[in-house]
Amino acid sequence: MEILGAVGWDGELPELKEIDGKTGYIGSDVLSLIVPGGFNLEYTSRSGDQVQVSEGNVTGTIDKRGIGAEDGRLLDAVVQTHGSDIGAEFINRMTKMTIAICTAMGFTTGIDDEDLPPEA
């Protein structure tokens, strides 16, 4: 699995799941592999989904409220529980995983995304 290889994962893979006739890995199961344990967290995502993290196992939708710069509850919990070095390692692994997902699945931008405002 290239996505986990990007973060140096060499442990067990999550269980394959079948949804709508397709078999694969669930995103929250893959994310759970890089979330350190040692804390429990519960909050509501911006989309209204309930997010729970229990000993590193993630359920729910991780969005800006979980990882964002101002409101990153998951990141804050990792740093508060394990310190800034582990927090930095987590965000680095999360970034590498995100880049690997974009590379594997494709990521496009439109020409309007490349325009700079005059003040830039």
Q: Which overall architecture, per CATH, does domain 2-106 show? A: Orthogonal Bundle (1.10)
Which pLDDT score is estimated for 44?
94
Phi, psi of 73 (to 5 degrees): -65, -40
- In this structure, the dihedral spanned by the alpha carbons of residues 13, 19, 21 and 27, taken in order and rounded to 10 degrees, is -40
Domain residue extents for the chain: 2-106
Pull the structure tokens for residue 55: 């000993």
Q: Model pTM greater than 0.85? A: no
Model confidence over 12-32: pLDDT tens digits? 999 999 999 999 999 999 999
Contacts of 25 (CB under 8 A, 6+ apart): 1, 13, 14, 16, 17
